[in-house]
Amino acid sequence: MSFSNLFRRKTVQDILKQVEKNEADGHHALGKHLTARDLTAFGIAAIIGAGIFSTIGKASADGGPGVIFLFIFTAIACSFAAFAYAEFASMVPVSGSAYTYSYVAFGEIIAWIIGWALIMEYAVGNITVAISWSDYFTGLLESGGMHIPQWMQMDYLTASNGFDEATALMQGGKSFENLSDNLKAAYTAWTTSPTLGSFHFVADLPALLIIIIITYLVYRGMKESRNASNLMVVVKLCVILLVIAVGIFYVDTDNWNPFAPNGVNGILKGVSAVFFAYIGFDAISTTAEECKNPQRDLPRGMMWAIVICTILYIAIALVLTGMVNYKDLNVGDPLAFVFNKLDLKWMSGIIAVSAVVAMASVLLVFQMGQPRIWMSMSRDGLLPKRFSKVHPRFKTPSYATIVTGFVVAVPALFLNLTIVTDLCSIGTLFAFVLVCAGVLVLQNRPDVPRGKFRIPYANSKYIFPLLLIVGLFFAFTINKKATMDFITNEKQINDASTIVTSLKETEAKEIMAHFQEEKLIKDQNADLEDVLSKFSEDETVYKNIVESLPIDNALKYETGFDLFKHKIPMWIFLFTLIGLAVWSWRQNLSLIPLLGLVCCLYMMAELSVWNWIYFTIWLIIGLIIYFSFSYKNSKLN
């Protein structure tokens, strides 16, 4: 095996010739039905979903009204990446998205890695959306008086983890009635589920149902998928505009003060959830072969989708945080919640129905994108040939679509929402980083034919190092304490919930006895988490209270490597910045794709180290498949 063969590249000319030969090889052409308007609608369908109906609540609770800056930052980062996607899509107007672009820019091994990451992105993204859809759908049925047992509407991991956490909190004195609704539901699902020995049958059946329906629709054809998507986009845009129009009359500007109560850290805390809302535009590029004029329409569709959705997100965030205090928004259905709180139940009903439609449209676009990645990799010989077969009547990658349905449906029954959201985000960000880097690699290669769209060029040679110097100045002046704590790995105190859920029953009783002895509480059956949480409202008081607790320091603080490991992604980002500064100085790199690469890499660094570990495991599995099958079966071999 030659090392250079791992980086063998496809040329743009070869890719375009291959598309022409597909018919002769037994691969029927995909149907061309899409215009710029359809692509914009697909983008809106994918972007306006879980973000606006669900995750915007948690992000607003963390960042306050200032969460709009997070939406703006994320939109700018995605716009930089969209420019890079648009240039590649104009240059290589075929299915495959970042996978195909990486094959041209970096070579086969990197193309395989990004293709494998995209498979995870779309599969995990669909699992996430299916779970969110199930939550809204079952909530809608509940409001209509139809009850589904908890064990049939919740995934296995959430029920298991929720049961353990609820048990620990109840040992700490919290009554079942005072548990959060999510923990009550998880505890009930676990304790009422059918069992076989020690195994509990807990599965999210509504999530399975919607995946089957959407997979069938995608299998039937692009025209049917397009029409369904356009209809769903119209419905949810009308509802969002109605929410803004009604909600604006209930805005109390006092709720916008303070605008950023938890500072920059609070705003950035929701970066994973907010970014997840924006990844839909990536799916647009997988439909390149089904566009009537991809070189013109793909760039337009991506840009219009991002601009429209950003304006809507900012408007909704301002209305929500103006209608109620930001602290109240940490709920799964924030739009319905605020109108319920203001006793506008008719609006809550409309929102619940539109949320079900919105989630289904996101699932449709994601489920449409993944089979086209599998098809492109199969055409190149990196996956078995069957994945590239196109249905002679429906003009869709039929076999790949069916396999995708299984790949998404089975994990959706059992997986936890938080895990899959972050995994989807890291896979997407990795793809964005490589697409931006691909544009930079190709910018000075004269042998690459250019499409109709080119990213406006601005030389980063002096601008990028200057931006780094400004960043360092900000870090060591305005944000000095946080910067020094990061560098010196200063120990961090655990929050109340982390401490209480880590305690054994005997330790919880010792703390209660300590509080009584110090006359901090009177009732021996007090809720330990509530007591500690009240103290945490004053940082100094909370620190003193925790230091006095009669438990091991390992339960009170996060220190040493346990703390440092969470900073590893950020250190990787910081060292990469130095390398990029040198590269930009030597090669006069284009500023826009360079900023896209930096923004997306920064958002990757904000994700937990566990996401990086899970993502690395996924890539290792992919490399095993590549070296055992794909390397020798590649058409470039």
In angstroms, the CA 549 to CA 337 distance is 38
The torsion angles phi and psi of 204, rounded to 5 degrees, stand at -90, 85
Single-letter residue type at 561:
F
Handedness of CA 451, 456, 462, 464 (dihedral sign): negative
Q: HEC profile for 405-435?
A: HHHHHHHHCCCCHHHHHHHHHHHHHHHHHHH
Pair 309, 278: CB distance under 8 Å: yes
In angstroms, the CA 69 to CA 390 distance is 44
Helix orientation angle between 56-63 and 67-91, rounded to the nearest 10 degrees: 130
pLDDT value of position 24? 54
Average pLDDT by stretches of 10, the chain with 637 residues: 74 69 53 76 76 73 84 83 79 68 82 83 77 78 78 79 82 74 82 82 84 84 71 82 87 84 75 70 70 77 84 87 82 76 79 80 78 82 83 77 83 67 76 85 72 81 91 86 84 78 77 74 68 72 79 79 86 92 90 90 85 87 90 84
pLDDT value of position 577? 93
Provide CB contacts within 8 A for 302, sequence distance 6+. Answer: 39, 43, 82, 85, 86, 89, 281, 284, 285
Name the strand (E) or helix (H) holding 196.
Answer: strand 195-196
Token look-up 């439909």 returns: 287
